[in-house]
Chains A and B, each alone.
Chain A
């Protein structure tokens, strides 16, 4: 028996070494030696003929042989697979993918969306209004009467005597309060127009207006909300500065500067060496404005703010020429 087993192993080894490239031969060889009716199975059948004393020993030999054969075959199979895949032509994974084309939102849209997202998250609702606006909403009801020097602050495009292209998004303050009872918390993005065109001005630009009005809203709250906004927009550590200013429809009014995002406040060309960048105007809603919308200034307080989207986008993306926004050059648009 021992001899027969050794013979079998020897034959199997030789058969495996002579297999060559053919993978079917391996399968056949496996059947020949390990199959249900294979040579090993035949030897197992003969186990019955072996004397009882030897049977134990013979059984051990056969089982060892079986394990040995299985190892040999799985090794051969493994080797075979390796050879197979090595032989096959591999894909050049550096060939570009067949991708669907991808466009981009205009950087102004991206910036406006980001600003609105932050305020929406703070509970401000996005509202919209007409761009061809009544003088009444654009000026009059914002406490900018016809013969006030504050009208000089904005060069206006006129459609007719009483109709203008809105010079800011502030008319939305009045329009919103006219329609709603306090509390009011809105944000109003949109196009605005001023009769001005040079390196730092385009006749059309974008603003976002914000308004929060209710009971017990203080200047401290204005600082709180705008600080939250700046930290969301430009990063947690960015310093802010509130500086007295003048807008006819807010009192007190404040200009908000942020620490220069280009030089981190050290002073550079962008911030004209001041370390500060002016980014928005704000203030407590002037009681005069409440009169136009029938709110009681004794009962209701609140704040408003407005910012230029182009300005924020320029800071956010490091764009140095305002006019690029409206040229719509693909080489520009692709970068965002």
Chain B
């Protein structure tokens, strides 16, 4: 809401500075978002009298004006001017050096060899009109040497105030005036609403019937006959333009003026274009079509409140008038509408039609049903004055059911407890009365508050509590500590594990990324998923900003691949990134989706952060190590990697699925080259993905302490020459499955191929650690057991002992 302080001063006297008013309004919940000068270009523009005119020595068309720009005394300024009407004795606007006009900044400059100390201006040059015929000759009585805006009485300050949806009453000068009045501890002044009536009573000329009392609980009308439609007088034009409304003509401007003034939207019909000269308020019929003022044919839809004449619609109630009854240059008689519409109904209509107007904006926020007649009278009188018509006697005011003012009981003690304040009951009464509430003390500590019609947002005690907090000042509410019982905040173990898993990855050199939850509609295609794949189709967003954000992600990979592309393109080629966040699977539990946590990461480039320690690139073992580390952290059991059931975005020859306790929990490996190409990634990538929620369910229990071994370990090695196709883990698994009690651990310490071993073979070195809990093992004892194990391994795998 744009507020002109000049205009506002019609309704309230407040001696506070502009800054204090702005601060006060902001702290009362009406945030002043900006303060500006109405005509910033008039800074450094003053009134000046041309005392004498001399010819310019070097140019025939120019002259030198000797100008007085001081009230009294001072030197005459020499101003070069070419306007034919610049002559001695006239008063005109003078832009002094530094004035910022639309044409540029005025400077002292030489014009054809003569110094000019400023510029005499036309209306157009000042942005105050279109006239460019010469300099603007001001009235001869105009004081000389004063700021032009002050001399013209158009000096003004504008405040942009953010109005929250609950404060529809503040969408007017009167509403803001009431708040300023409360701030200044004074009373707001309502504009006079006496109407000079003449002519026959309105009832004899027209009628109003409300058929839809639900949508339109009150409808008032007045008739102004014999008006002359034309441009608005300057004062009216200036005011509506000050708050950013385009001036149309005197009649329409009055309706806008009064709406801005009182917050009551009005509509003016050309009375003679109303068929049967009457108004009927009813709901729209199915399929009914109607052309609004903006020349758009619309179908309002059933239930819409329509203002009709004796035959058909002439306006969409509370939203916009119709082309068929608009004020035209030849309009002579005006039927003025002032009504109260149901806010919900207006909002539905406005939304359904996609049509938002100053009127609908106010009606859907709730206007003052009691304010209907005041606005009607005010506008009728103004139309009479600026349009020269006669106002028919009386007004029509149809009100099928009385609209009760809301009455609220207020328990002073309860409000103080809610706010933490200690306001006296009488103090509360005073505060509420300062915003025009009628307050009655009905019992000790009990107030009965009658809420004025314009505050439709106040219906409950708690609403009054807010008013009291606001009016007495939020800053005066004491800062206290709640009294609460001591209890430890429960902690969801899943959140904790997620946080710790992130820390673990960071320690492994990974940077966390956060990507949007939506992905492109074709993102799965880029991952080489085809329609025949049994992956669930992602959930669609009905109204996405773009196709790039068309669906909810079912995988974290598209985001990560895009991050990889971005970073490689920006020459960050060595990186490890991960995201631990939700994906959205259709159906399942949850309101719209099953939302589960996935963990996925990408690695690229050098393993070591420093080239000094080698520039080897990360490989499969690195990405596998990350997954192993996470599983070790979670104490999962039976971690296996198998090159099967791979998703299409992985390179089949260099990837594996991850199994924990027999359950598939994810995959890892090299990203498929076609995927890299489709995603425009210019370097090879390694990636992993884990169903983190699933993995959490498989995590091991808190370990129980077992004694630290007291006796020394005995190491033994085994070197197997095995078929190359045999996974190194297979013999290991076998050894473990034998469950030899003396074997504490077995690990692989060496894998190599050579000509000596022969083609298609590899040598695998296994290191056994033997230990007994109750004694030191002897060499003989270990040798026996080790020998037996070797025999079993060779028998099982048919491999030879080196």
Contacts and interface: CB of A to CB of B under 8 A. Distances in A.
Interface of A: 95-96, 98-106, 108-109, 113, 120, 123-128, 130-134, 137, 147-150, 152-153, 157-160, 163, 165, 183, 185, 191, 193, 195, 197, 203-204, 212, 214, 216-221, 223-225, 227, 241-246, 251-255, 284, 286-287, 301, 325-331, 333-334
B469 A160 contact: no
B517 A191 contact: yes
B502 interface: yes
Pick the most buried of B484, B509, B549, B563: most chain A CB atoms within 10 A of its CB: B484
Nearest to B606: A101
A331 B479 CA distance: 43
B797 interface: no
B29 A245 contact: yes
A123 B484 contact: yes
Contacts of B486: 123
Contacts of A160: 542, 592
A132 B592 CA distance: 6
Contacts of B470: 244, 252
A256 B590 CA distance: 33
Contacts of A104: 506, 511-512
Contacts of B204: none
Among A100, A220, A244, max chain B CB count under 10 A is at A244
B480 A224 contact: yes
Contact of A328 (B419, B514, B592): B514
A219 B566 contact: no
5 contacts: A123-B489, A125-B490, A126-B489, A221-B482, A243-B31
Interface in B316-353: 343-344, 347-348
B165 A150 contact: yes
B481 A221 contact: yes
A246 B514 contact: no
Contact of A329 (B483, B566, B612): B566
A138 B563 CA distance: 31
Contact of A334 (B26, B511, B514): B511
Contact of A128 (B492, B515, B543): B492
A279 to B, nearest CB: 15
Contacts of A125: 489-491
B482 A333 contact: no
B592 A326 contact: no
Contact of B489 (A96, A124, A216, A244): A124
Contacts of B545: 195, 197, 203
A214 B485 CA distance: 10
B544 interface: yes
B757 interface: no
B215 to A, nearest CB: 13
Contact of B577 (A204, A245, A328): A328
A153 B165 contact: yes
Nearest to A203: B545
Contacts of B488: 123
Contact of B365 (A149, A212, A328): A149
A152 B165 contact: yes
Interface stretch (B132-140, B249-257, B458-466, B670-678): B458-466
Contacts of B484: 123, 183, 185, 212, 214, 217
Interface in B547-600: 549, 552, 563, 566-567, 570, 572, 575-577, 581-582, 584, 590-593, 595
Task: Choose among A106, A149, A185, A242 the residue with the greatest number of B CB atoms under 10 Å from its CB.
Answer: A149
Contact of A204 (B462, B516, B612): B516
A45 to B, nearest CB: 50
A223 to B, nearest CB: 5
Quick one: which of A103, A160, A212, A245 has the most chain B CB within 10 A? A103
Which of B482, B489, B513, B544 has most chain A Cβ within 10 Å?
Answer: B482
B147 interface: no
A245 B592 CA distance: 32
Contacts of A128: 492, 495
Contacts of B591: 130, 132-134, 137, 163
Interface residues of B, number: 93
Given A103-B511, A328-B567, 5 more contacts: A127-B492, A219-B420, A244-B474, A328-B514, A333-B511
B418 interface: yes
B599 to A, nearest CB: 14
B477 A223 contact: yes
Contacts of A255: 31
A113 B567 contact: no
Interface of B: 26-29, 31, 164-167, 343-344, 347-348, 364-365, 417-421, 460, 462-463, 465-466, 469-470, 474-475, 477-492, 495, 499, 502-503, 505-518, 539-545, 549, 552, 563, 566-567, 570, 572, 575-577, 581-582, 584, 590-593, 595, 608-610, 612-613
A224 B506 contact: no
B499 A113 contact: yes
Contacts of B463: 251
Contacts of A113: 499
B514 A326 contact: yes
Question: Which of B460, B474, B483, B612 has its CB near the most chain A CB atoms (within 10 A)?
Answer: B474
A254 to B, nearest CB: 6
Given A103-B505, A148-B165, A244-B29, A126 B495 contact: yes
B27 A159 contact: no
A245 B29 CA distance: 5
Nearest to A226: B479
Contact of B479 (A149, A224, A252): A224
B165 A218 contact: no
B582 to A, nearest CB: 7
A128 B490 CA distance: 13
A218 B584 contact: no
Contacts of B469: 219, 244, 252
A99 B418 CA distance: 57
A63 B230 CA distance: 132
A132 B590 contact: yes
B417 A108 contact: no
Contacts of B507: 100, 102-103
Given A185-B484, A241-B475, A331-B572, A147 B347 contact: yes
B514 A106 contact: yes
Nearest to B480: A220
Nearest to A109: B512
A120 B642 CA distance: 42
What 5 A-B pairs are tightest by C-beta distance, nearest first? A220-B420, A101-B509, A244-B29, A246-B164, A218-B420
A158 B542 CA distance: 5
A108 B542 CA distance: 28
A301 B465 CA distance: 13
Given A109-B502, A252-B465, A103 B483 contact: no
A251 B539 CA distance: 36
A214 B567 CA distance: 50
Nearest to A158: B542
Of listed B460, B462, B577, residue having the most chain A CB within 10 A: B462
Nearest to B486: A123
Given A220-B420, A252-B466, A243 B544 contact: no
Nearest to A276: B26
Interface centre among B26, B344, B365, B505, by most A CB within 10 Å? B26
A246 B167 contact: yes
A287 B508 CA distance: 50
Given A244-B474, A330-B572, A223 B566 contact: no
User: Residue among B421, B483, B612 with the most chain A CB within 10 A?
Assistant: B483
A320 B465 CA distance: 39
B261 to A, nearest CB: 22
Contacts of A333: 511-513
Nearest to B546: A197
B592 A221 contact: no
Nearest to B467: A252
Contacts of A245: 29, 31, 164
Nearest to B571: A331
B481 A183 contact: no
